[in-house]
Structure 1
Amino acid sequence: MYPPNASPVLALYDVTKVHGHGDAAVRALDGVSLALPAGGFTAVMGPSGSGKSTLLHCAAGLDRPTSGSVVVDGHALESLDETALTRLRRERMGFVFQSFNLVPTLTVAQNVTLPLEFAGRRSSPAVVRTLLERLGLANRADRMPAELSGGQQQRVAIARAMLARPAVLFADEPTGALDTQAAREVLDLLREAVRESGQTVVMVTHDPVAASYADSVIFFADGRIDGSLPRPDAATVAARMARLASAVPAAQAGGVR
């Protein structure tokens, strides 16, 4: 469950996102409002074309909504220019994607500290070492990404996202490229980050098992929130997703994510 009386660290107010113009316009988000507290793990799910990835991109400032307001850690994103928005993403947001996005010519430790270096900030070697130990990477600090398994590479990506202790960690299908065991390890790490460090995680996933690691699941359909499920289990999530998928017209499949 979410912490009681927690203030929102991420809030969307009547957010819309329209792709295209005229008859070809697609409304990917249709007046979405939600507030997520600090220290929670939220999964976002929906059929293909439901708008779940568009929601994440707008919430993280990777895309600008057509209308409405997004507030992250007290900052209204629409009021920021691109320079300020980039700075906020570096300092107060973390990102983990299906592709690991590691620099192949840098070591594990160098990949982890790279975003801080871009931001002109120094990282304590002791802090980096402690974080790598916590994620089971202490003996891999000097290895190159090509020497690691997929699960280990994703753990490096999580360490990189967590190093600056962001207000929100956004994860877009973080287990999509992993086998079952590696996926469990990654999800355990994300859940531990919430439980032990008070981290806030927002994860887009298509996998009911992955969603069951979250405190709550938000379901999307046709660009709108279609309910939520606290304390989810995989079977209940799968059943809810099956109902949503059956309601999606065949012509809509493959549309906006």
Structure 2
Amino acid sequence: MTRAPYDERVTNTVTAALELHHVTKRHGVGAAAVTALDQVSLSIPRGTFTAVMGPSGSGKSTLLHCAAGLDRPDSGAVVLDGRDLTGLDETALTRLRRERMGFVFQSFNLVPTLTVEQNAVLPLEFAGRRADGRRVRGLLGRLGLGDRIDHRPAELSGGQQQRVAIARALLSQPAIIFADEPTGALDTQAAREVLGILREAVTASGQTIVMVTHDPVAASYADAVVFFADGRIADHMARPDAGAVAARMARLSARGAA
């Protein structure tokens, strides 16, 4: 797999698709409060594939939610595609998510009454943008869905449904795609195919992807892995392989259990 170089330093908004500056997020109040993110600073360069890993409760899902503007940090700043999310109201955040972000979830989130093509172009329609039919069909064809365009989700395998979700995320040409356990509901073969598609989107098209995963094999498709523990970045790994990722996760989990 060809990987782009990964720079761990905080970069400027010309080269960074996403920046977090000293982001803190707490859940709960008083003595019961839990610090999910503790002064986290991170930069994701454009055109790279980053996996985020950590034990349960480490803060990785909160990171994704804050980065995507789905949750607001208590302090610090999130800058996405050069825009500071801190002062944006909900209307502006919704517009930014619609126009500059793509999402791929474990549960696919397809509309059961719509066809493959209709599901793929739905975000564009919500944004008031006209879909280029030739481009839509070309992308679906490259994703192995050329003969499934008029099918509905119930007529597709899990892997095919996730490919539709990826097409939906890619069609709006977002600054960044957030993927939350995108292979969690797939069998091994389908998962490898989906990960290959995500890898190709980065390598061939310069897409930026941030993927939360618990799977070392999935993480091995990324350019780099960021490991979280106790709400903080515990480690980085460039050019990961599955064995090294699994070993690092085992050490983190053992430390948390100690």
Q: Same fold (TM over 0.5)?
A: yes
Tell me the alpha carbon deviations over residues 191-242 of structure 1, each in whole angstroms, 9 at most, x when there is no partner. Answer: 0000000000000000000000000000000000011000000000000000
Superposed displacement of residue 249, structure 1: 3.4
Which 4+ stretches in 1 moved above 2 angstroms? 1-6
1:127 to 130, 135, 138: 135
Match of 1:188 in 2: 196
Contact 2:6 2:223 survives alignment (8 Å): no
Q: How far apart, CA to CA, are the structure 2 residues paired with 1:205 and 1:211?
A: 7
* Aligned residue type for 1:192: E
* Aligned residue type for 2:28: G
1:232 to 210, 219, 240: 240
2:100 to 92, 97, 103: 92
Contact 1:2 1:37 survives alignment (8 Å): no
Match of 2:147 in 1: 139
Superposed displacement of residue 3, structure 1: 4.5
Q: Please say if 1:245 is aligned against 2:245.
A: no
Q: How far apart, CA to CA, are the structure 2 residues paired with 1:39 and 1:133?
A: 23
Q: Please say if 1:102 is aligned against 2:110.
A: yes
* CA root-mean-square deviation: 1.2
SS of match in other structure, 1:49 = coil
Tell me the alpha carbon deviations over residues 13-54 of structure 1, each in whole angstroms, 9 at most, x when there is no partner. Answer: 000000011001000000000111000000000000100011
Q: How far apart, CA to CA, are the structure 1 residues paired with 2:65 and 2:6?
A: 27
Q: How far apart, CA to CA, are the structure 2 residues paired with 1:20 and 1:227?
A: 27
* Aligned residue type for 1:93: M
Q: How far apart, CA to CA, are the structure 2 residues paired with 1:11 and 1:216?
A: 16
1:54 to 62, 87, 105: 62
Match of 1:167 in 2: 175
TM, length-normalised to structure 1? 0.95
Match of 2:10 in 1: none
Match of 2:38 in 1: 30
TM, length-normalised to structure 2? 0.95
Q: How far apart, CA to CA, are the structure 2 residues paired with 1:38 and 1:120?
A: 26
Q: How far apart, CA to CA, are the structure 1 residues paired with 2:239 and 2:27?
A: 34
Match of 2:28 in 1: 20
Q: How far apart, CA to CA, are the structure 2 residues paired with 1:38 and 1:73?
A: 9
1:2 to 1, 4, 10: 4
Match of 1:116 in 2: 124
SS of match in other structure, 1:96 = strand
Q: How far apart, CA to CA, are the structure 2 residues paired with 1:2 and 1:82?
A: 34
Q: How far apart, CA to CA, are the structure 1 residues paired with 2:133 and 2:160?
A: 20
Q: How far apart, CA to CA, are the structure 1 residues paired with 2:193 and 2:4?
A: 22
Q: Alpha carbons of 1:4 and 1:34: their partners in 2 closer, same or farther (altered >3 Å)?
A: closer
* Aligned residue type for 2:39: G
